[in-house]
Structure 1
Amino acid sequence: MSATAEPAEGQRAVGARLGIKPGQMVQELGYDDDCDEELRESIVALSGNELVGGEPDDVVDVVLLWWRDGDGDLVDALVDALTDLADGGMVWLLTPKTGRPGHVEPSEIGDAAPTAGLSSTSSVSASREWQGTRLVAPKAARK
């Protein structure tokens, strides 16, 4: 086992927890200097694409939304996150873990997601400092 291959494999594993697949386009919203760089690099390594900012040229498969308590209205941010999301895409809402500055209560996410037309499907420990909540548009919501 080569010492060089290990970091790349470990790096991909972090993004794999979020279900990121090769070729996916990932839009990043809410970036600031407190965001987890290892997680960001892992997503780039796994998808094979750079993260796109606020105005992508095309639809995206995944939206990575970094969110902290005090960032504003979560419902508005989630609705905005849907703007460039492809049908069947997902939003990963990344919030600081319990006890960290900017922690968002799960009840706030639970209230905001359905109001924005999303449902929470799972949660993961995205990194040492950040919790990830996977949000998708319910299939029954289509009219």
Structure 2
Amino acid sequence: MSATAGQAADGVRSLADRFGIEPGMVVMEMGYDDDVDQDLRDALTDRCGELVDEDTDEVVDAVLLWYRDGDGDLFEMLVETLSPLADNGVVWLLTPKAGRDGHVEPSEISESAPTAGLQQTSTVNAGKDWSGARLVLRRGAKGKK
């Protein structure tokens, strides 16, 4: 069996595969700053093309939300991701790993996501300094914003 386009020859899944990003998807990015993981951004843009910003009028398949402790209210930022998000879209909440500047306690995510109408389904290693929490709309949550 041959490796798919997103897999390395040794069978290791690429970052874009771990994030479920496919060619043609529209991916919005929020919270960009000079500390983001460029390897992750490059892998995702190689797969789907340019990332759109939060001013887009497009319906998006995925949102990358770079969030650090001190960036503002996490609940409000998560709610902002919902307007352009497709009903089957995914929010990737990217936070600094434990011990890094701006680390966000998991309890903050577990409290804010459900209140915003999202549920966490998994986490991934999103790079040397970042973790990613995969958040999806709770059933029926989009209409209740």
The bucket for the TM-score relative to the shorter chain is 0.7 to 0.9
2:80 equivalent to 1:87: no
2:21 equivalent to 1:14: no
Higher helix share: 1
Q: Who is 1:64 aligned against?
A: 64
What is the rounded CA distance, in whole Å, between the counterparts of 1:81 and 1:65 in structure 2? 8
Aligned partners of 1:16 and 1:46 also within 8 Å: no
Shift >4 Å, 4+ stretches: none
2:99 equivalent to 1:106: no
Q: Who is 1:3 aligned against?
A: none
Q: Who is 1:31 aligned against?
A: 32
Q: Who is 2:53 aligned against?
A: 53
What is the rounded CA distance, in whole Å, between the counterparts of 2:83 and 2:139 in structure 1? 17
TM (norm. structure 2) is: 0.87
Unaligned runs of 5+ in 1: 1-7
What is the rounded CA distance, in whole Å, between the counterparts of 1:141 and 1:128 in structure 2? 33
What is the rounded CA distance, in whole Å, between the counterparts of 2:50 and 2:35 in structure 1? 19
What is the rounded CA distance, in whole Å, between the counterparts of 1:113 and 1:57 in structure 2? 24
| TM-fit CA distance, 1:108 | 0.4
| TM-fit CA distance, 1:139 | 2.0
Aligned partners of 2:57 and 2:84 also within 8 Å: no
Q: Who is 2:75 aligned against?
A: 75
| Number of residue pairs matched by the alignment | 134
What is the rounded CA distance, in whole Å, between the counterparts of 2:114 and 2:35 in structure 1? 27
Identity rate, percent: 55
Whichever residue aligns with residue 95 of structure 1, its letter is T
Whichever residue aligns with residue 40 of structure 1, its letter is R
